[in-house]
Amino acid sequence: MEKEEQILSPYRKIDIEVNKSSQLHYLWNKFKISSWTYMAHHPTCSRYRNHIFKIGSIYLCVGCTSSIIGFIIYSIVFYSFMEFFKTNPINNGYVTIFGVLLALIQLMLNPQNKWIKAFMRFSLGLGLGGYVALVVLVPSWNLKISLFVMLFFATILYNDIRKRKNTILCKNCSLRTADPPCNPHRNTEMKLEKLKDIKNKEKEKKKKNVKKVRTS
């Protein structure tokens, strides 16, 4: 475990930088503060640096981003060469098995290298693409529905296991009991509240300035 002073966390202060007060800038700042919860899926502290991609002010989940890219690429290949896959449907099965196996290996071994994780989750995306391609090619609607139901429940189970693993670093972190403590979700809520207060104060300030102009 990293020592307390070595862990870089943005969740111990509620300082926010607001350069302009327009509605557009308010929405952008709100997005930057809260986007990690639904785009990074992990706190953006140094303990999770191998779980996130950083693009400017935005953080993305390594696993989900890689899976989506893999799925999109396989979908493009599948629809571009539909006739080939119709005559060779077993290839979709091979890709599906390959992707699922790597995803299960990742769950068991939990590699900490960002790029190994990205490759394994990219492969899962390819596997999902292969699975959906099988569903598309299957002639029976009953079988299509059955395959989708299997995919639905498998996805829920897989994400539940991942979610439990993702919270372990936070639960065991020394900063949870530090002064000030690190609490990503509560800190995000406080920053959003502070941002809203800044916006309301700016609105009141503008109203007063307008009144002054009208009365002068």
Q: pLDDT of 120-132, one tens digit each?
A: 999 999 999 999 9
Q: 149-179, pLDDT tens digit by residue?
A: 999 999 898 888 887 777 778 888 888 888 8
Q: 28-47, pLDDT tens digit by residue?
A: 989 999 999 999 988 999 98
Decide: residue 180, CB within 10 A, 0-12 exposed, 13-18 middle, 19+ buried.
exposed
State if pTM tops 0.95. no
**CA-closest candidate to residue 90, choices 136, 142, 144, 134:** 134
Q: How far apart are CA 89 and CA 39, in angstroms?
A: 34
Q: How far apart are CA 40 and CA 181, in angstroms?
A: 21
User: Which residues are CB-neighbours of 182 under 8 A, at least 6 positions away?
Assistant: 7, 9, 11, 12, 45, 173, 175, 176
Residue 1 is predicted with a pLDDT of 47
Return contacts of 202-207, CB within 8 angstroms, 24+ apart: 202/21
Decide: residue 52, CB within 10 A, 0-12 exposed, 13-18 middle, 19+ buried.
buried
Q: 61-102, pLDDT tens digit by residue?
A: 999 999 999 999 999 999 999 999 989 889 999 999 999 999
Domains in the chain: boundaries: 63-174
User: What does the pLDDT average to over 44-53?
Assistant: 91
**CA-closest candidate to residue 73, choices 19, 142, 123:** 123
